[in-house]
Structure 1
Amino acid sequence: MIVFRYLSREVLLTLSAVSAVLLVIIMSGRFIKYLAQAASGALDPGSLFLIMGFRLPGFLQLILPLGLFLGILLAYGRLYLDSEMTVLSATGMSQQRLFRITLFPATLVALVVAWLSLSLSPQGANQFQLLINQQDAMTEFDTLVPGRFQALRDGSRVTYTEQLSDDRINLGGVFITQKNLSSDTKKDRGISVLVAEKGRQEINPDGNRYLILENGYRYDGKPGQADYRAIKYDTYGVLLPKPEVSDEVTDRDAMPTASLLGSDDIRARTELQWRLSLPLLVFIVTLMAVPLSRVNPRQGRFLKLLPAILLYMAYLTILISARSALEKGKIPPTLGLWWVHSIFLAIGLGLLYWEPLRLKLASRRSVLEVARG
């Protein structure tokens, strides 16, 4: 029992440290991406941390299996270097028994990953898509930042204001340029430039929103041609797009697991198999990590680390490729993703039983040589 607690604690502590580092790295990269979108006006800066919270379960369901794999390699590798594992082996600790002990922390991780992949991650993805739908429904004035040019997603209009009130109603020093496209042929009919000393947003009872500009000019024409038209105005009204928030969730990873059960749609069946594959992945990588963690103290703890990581990446890459092929109908649904797990399960069993089998064969060879001599 003491050895069981000791080994489990070493694996879980290393798992936590490795997973925390990986999570910080991945979250930092994604946060920088969303921060750039917020700086360009595509996202509301106030929703960044909410977005990261919704995306967290999806990150963790992929990080935890890798963290467990590296945790076993590093924790047991240190025990081999410090000759602690040699002492345990002398007391009867075989690779198979070590694997059975490691199944306890692996089962805890598998349960957490199952909870994330089957329940929490789809809920987070659902809330993330609803939030993105709300962001898409916002006009450029909802995310406008004073002193910065703000472009629509399709690039048809660019807006600039020097001043903006806290309630985002009144603007000062307004500049707007937009492309004039033909409604039927979508051909470029030049650009229009609006400048005004000030402006304000008005919302009619019917829900239509207008930008009312005061004391400014409008310029119409095509770049490179000298046929511009200039109009001075005291008041000019611009109809703003009416925001429409969609409640429809189309991403497969945002669908509840219950709705995937019994579905005949190949994409839904693929998504269900993917969610079930992640907890199964935990046990198979544990099976591979235990024998791969065995190192010679003279060789160093990192000798097998790179090949082990390459083996894990091959497993995950083939699994993702099989998922894509299954969605496209290139793999029979009955075969699904299970053939990938079967291959690496066989590899893990081979790694686990190869060393005892080799020692057994070497012992028999020695006995035969002694008998012949």
Structure 2
Amino acid sequence: VAIIVLLFIFLSNQFVRFMHSAAGGMLSGSAINILLLLQLPILSAVLLPASLFLGILLAYGRLYADSEMTILAACGMNPGRLLRTTMSFSVVVMIFVAVLSLWLNPKVYKYSDHIASGVTSVNLDMIKANNFNLIANGKWIFYVSEVSSKDKQFYNIFAAQQPDDQDYKNNSDLCVVTAKSGYKKIDPKTGDLYMILVDGYRYVGTPGQKDYEVMKYDEYGLRMQQEVVAWRGDASSIPTLQLWNTRQDRLAVAELQWRISLPLSALILTLLGTPLSKIKPKRGRYAKIAPAVLLYVIYANFLFLTKAWIKSGALTPVLGMWWVHGLMLILAIFLIGQQVGWWRFFMAKGE
């Protein structure tokens, strides 16, 4: 249940992000549905360790609160045995997360990039009549008065090219095109997509300037740039083996350590969650939820931060994310020692 709720929250956030891209003409409606579906394994790899941690806290917390854990302890379920039982299930989760993180998700990221890079080829299908439409990743603004679904023609076209320079007065590359009709065409040799405009005018430059040009044409082709949309700008889609072979690169080693950290966090969070779930019956089953969740937030945030630090060169890859896992592992051992009674044993031995 926990992972379903978390998936819904994060998918909603991704949906808003994709809708924003679609509003800018960078995604189609069909692409949004596919990309949302592809987010499931990506988010699952991140959220499964968190869901396992939360599940341990809630399940064992209820047993402690209802004094059922006391009955189990009387039947031989001591804290050490409880931890071993929990760890056996945690290993299964760790293996599943490792498969997602190390093998499946790079393929998913690569396919997502493929979907995103093909957006331009369907952008012209997104043109709606009597609306201003952003085309070619926002480089062109199109306005048409009529769209014929029968012969796939556009009528009474107005198109303006977005200038690279925000200073319109000094930009001599401003281009406005009008046409009575138009249709899309794919070049069989290059695969490039063109908008073929029929019977219109092309205006280049700033009106009133000496270099201002007006050209009448019978047929004019506008090439729609088919650029790959960069969603992340990192090494997410690179296979894990290739990352290992190029681990001298900061981006590669940051991504590699991140992929290893996800399954590793499942084990560490299990070690943390088992002792943290122990509460006194009078305190209620949710007594330690808030501090435990805060601990997870700190853990997760430092993993994200160290990934960024490795990329920027602010943190050496040798130290990398391992110090974060190390600190959490030491804390987990300390908490387990308190629960099992190791500390009392060593203190008694010292006396």
Q: TM-score, normalised by structure 1?
A: 0.79
Following superposition, the deviation at residue 193 of structure 1 comes to 4.6
1:160 aligns to 2:147 (yes or no): no
Aligned to 1:304: 288
Structure 1 residue ranges without an equivalent (≥5): 1-16, 369-373
Residue 196 of structure 2 aligns with an amino acid whose one-letter code is L
- Taking a change above 3 Å as real, the CA distance of residues 69 and 194 of structure 1, as seen in their structure-2 partners, is same
- Taking a change above 3 Å as real, the CA distance of residues 267 and 200 of structure 1, as seen in their structure-2 partners, is closer
1:240 aligns to 2:222 (yes or no): yes
Q: TM-score, normalised by structure 2?
A: 0.83
- Taking a change above 3 Å as real, the CA distance of residues 359 and 87 of structure 1, as seen in their structure-2 partners, is farther
Aligned to 1:6: none
1:151-191, CA deviations, whole angstroms, 9 ceiling, x for partnerless residues?
24675531112322337730123222335779xx9932485
1:83-136, CA deviations, whole angstroms, 9 ceiling, x for partnerless residues?
21121123332222211110122111101100000001111001111222222x
From 212, 225, 237, give the equivalent of 2:197.
Answer: 212
Asked if the contact 1:118–1:275 (Cα under 8 Å) also holds between the matched residues in 2, the reply is yes
Residue 97 of structure 2 aligns with an amino acid whose one-letter code is V
Aligned to 2:8: 24
Give me the whole-angstrom Cα distance separating, in 2, the residues matched to 1:178 and 1:243.
Answer: 12
Give me the whole-angstrom Cα distance separating, in 1, the residues matched to 2:92 and 2:149.
Answer: 49
- Taking a change above 3 Å as real, the CA distance of residues 186 and 246 of structure 1, as seen in their structure-2 partners, is farther
Aligned to 1:97: 81
Asked if the contact 2:299–2:328 (Cα under 8 Å) also holds between the matched residues in 1, the reply is yes
Residue 307 of structure 1 aligns with an amino acid whose one-letter code is P
| SS of 1:278 mapped into structure 2 | helix
Alignment size in residue pairs: 341
Q: CA RMSD in A?
A: 3.6
From 272, 277, 282, give the equivalent of 1:288.
Answer: 272
1:266 aligns to 2:250 (yes or no): yes
Give me the whole-angstrom Cα distance separating, in 1, the residues matched to 2:184 and 2:229.
Answer: 26
Asked if the contact 2:116–2:228 (Cα under 8 Å) also holds between the matched residues in 1, the reply is no
- Taking a change above 3 Å as real, the CA distance of residues 268 and 312 of structure 1, as seen in their structure-2 partners, is same
Give me the whole-angstrom Cα distance separating, in 2, the residues matched to 1:265 and 1:253.
Answer: 14
Structure 2 residue ranges without an equivalent (≥5): none
Larger Rg: 1
1:18-71, CA deviations, whole angstroms, 9 ceiling, x for partnerless residues?
001111111122123213322442112122222123222211110100000000
Give me the whole-angstrom Cα distance separating, in 2, the residues matched to 1:323 and 1:181.
Answer: 33
Aligned to 2:129: 146
1:183-210, CA deviations, whole angstroms, 9 ceiling, x for partnerless residues?
xx99324855545443334566666734
Give me the whole-angstrom Cα distance separating, in 2, the residues matched to 1:155 and 1:49.
Answer: 21
More contact order relative to length (CA 8 Å, sep ≥ 6): 2
From 323, 341, 344, give the equivalent of 2:307.
Answer: 323
Aligned to 1:349: 333
